[in-house]
Amino acid sequence: MANAYALGEAASRTTGQVDALFLFITVVSLFFFLLVEGLLIYFAIKYRRRKGAEAAETPDIRGSLFLETVWILIPTIVVASFFYYGYMVFRDIRTPSPGATDIHVVGRQWLFEFRYPDGSLSINELRVPAGGPVKLILSSDDVIHSFYIPAYRLKQDMVPGQYTTLYLHPDKEGTYPILCAEYCGVAHSTMRADLIVMEPGAFAAWREKKEAPAGLSLAEQGKALVEKSGCLGCHALEGKEKVGPNLGQGFGRKVLLADGTTVTADEEYLRESIYDPKAKVVKGYPAVMPTFKGSLSPDDVGAVIAYLKSLSGEKEQDTEKGVEKAVEKEEREGKEAPSAHKGKELTETLGCLGCHSPDGSARVGPSFQGLFGRQVELEGGGKATADEAYLRESINEPKAKVVKGYPNVMPEFKGKISEEDLSALISYLKTLKR
C-alpha cells in the first residue's frame, strides 16, 4: 500500500494498517454509491413520465417485510464491519508496547520540543533508532496543537493541562516530516519538525560521538524534585506506608478510588494527581495532599513521573537501550568555533524562522534583517540597542524587553541552548546587518 492517498511511502506498520482500512471503507462505499446512484438513474429513465400514460393507476404497494429486512440488515452489517475493522486497527495502534522508550513532547507556539529520558532536549528534531517502539507523551504549553506524522498515518492532539500518548513503531529508516495539524495561530503553518529514524548501529555510533548530556537524567531530576518537594513526608518509597500510597508501588497498576471506580496509574493519572490531588483519591487514604500547581512546572512533573516509573522497575532495562543516552545536541555540539554559518542553521532547527524572517519580511516577531545594532523601542516605553547583550537576554528571557508592537509570545530558550549556540546565533544575526 505504498503511496496510498499520496501521503508517502509505508514507513511504519501503522501506515499499512490505516491505508488498508481506508481502502476497504472506500471500496465498499464506492460499490454502494454506484449501486444506489445507478439504480436511481436507471429507474428515473425506465419509469419516466410518458405521453398518454397519465391515466395509468399507481400500483397499491403496502410494504414488503422481506425487502425491508434485507435493506436494514445489509447496511447494518456493512456499517458494523467498518466499526469492527476500524476498532481492531485503533486497538492495535493504541495498545501500549512493552519496553517502549519514553519521550516527552511539548507543543508551543510554534515549535515542538522533545525531552529524552537522559534529560537532553531537542527542538523540532526527533531522533530514534529503527526497531524498538517509542512512546510519546504529548502536552502543550499554550493552545491545542496536533502532532501529525503523515508517513505513519498517526495524529494526536496536544492539549494544555493534559497528557496524551502516541506509540511509534519506527520500522524504516529515513527522515519524515512532523506537522502541526491544528490551527494554533499565525505561524501554525511553519510549526514543523523532523522524525529521523536511524539504523540502530548508526544511531548507536552517532550517540557515542555525543558527549554525555550535562546534568542529570530525567529520572534523576525527578528524584531530586520528589525529595525537595516534601513528597516523602507522606509517601514512602516502599515498605511501611505513611499517610499516602507508596511511590514504588508500581506505575501502571490499577487503583481503586474512594468513589468505587478504578483507574490505571498512568502518566495522565499521576499528572492529574500532582496538580489536582482531590480529583481522584485512592481508596483508604485521606484527601489531604496539597496541589503542586505553581510549585512544579509541567517539565518538573514529567521528570517526577519518569522517576516514579523507574521505581516501579518497568523502565529499568531502558537505561541501557533506546534513545536514552545523549540523543541530541548534534547541531549544537559547540565543538566548532562559533560561526555565523552554524547560527544560520540554528535559526532553522530551533524554529526561530517560524516567527522571525531573515529577509525583512513581516512575521510574528521582528525580522532578523537589520536587527543587530539597531535602536528598538520597547513595550512600556524606553529604548534599547539591539547589541550582543540585548540579543542574549532576548533569547534567554524574551519577556524581559519586548519590542514595541510585537506580541509577547516568544518562548524562553534559557537552558535549552548552549553558550556556544547563543554566540553562533548572535554572530549570524550580525551578518544580517543592513
The residue ranges that bind ligand CUA (CB under 6 A) are 107, 110, 145, 180, 182-184, 188, 191
Toward ligand CUA, which CB reaches closer, 140 or 427?
140
> Hey, how many other C-beta atoms are within 10 angstroms of the C-beta on 258?
14
Of 143 and 282, nearer to ligand CUA (C-beta) is 143
Between 10 and 138, whose beta carbon lies closer to ligand CUA?
A: 138
Strands 383-385 vs 375-377: parallel, antiparallel or unpaired: antiparallel
CA 56 to chain centre: 67
As given in the structure block, the three cell numbers for residue 352 are 526561530
Residue among 100 and 105 whose Cβ is closer to ligand CUA: 105
End-to-end distance of the chain based on CA atoms, in angstroms?
A: 51
CB of 106 to ligand CUA, least distance (A): 11
The nearest distance, CB 421 to ligand CUA, in angstroms, is: 24
- Other Cβ atoms within 10 Å of 151 Cβ, number: 21
We find the least distance from the C-beta atom of residue 299 to ligand CUA, in angstroms, to be: 19
What's the length of the chain?
434
β-sheet bridge partners, residue 176:
195
409: left (phi over 0), alpha (psi -120 to 50) or beta: alpha
* CB of residue 103 to ligand CUA, shortest distance in Å: 18
Q: Which CB sits closer to ligand CUA, 110 or 167?
A: 110
User: Which residue lies nearer to ligand CUA by CB, 110 or 292?
Assistant: 110
Three-class DSSP category at 385: strand
Q: Minimal distance in Å, beta carbon 182 to ligand CUA? A: 5
- Closest contact distance (angstroms) between CB of 186 and ligand CUA is 10
Enumerate residues 6+ apart whose C-beta is below 8 A from 310. 219, 222, 316
* Rounded CA separation 121/118 (Å): 9
Identify residue 428 by its one-letter amino acid code: Y
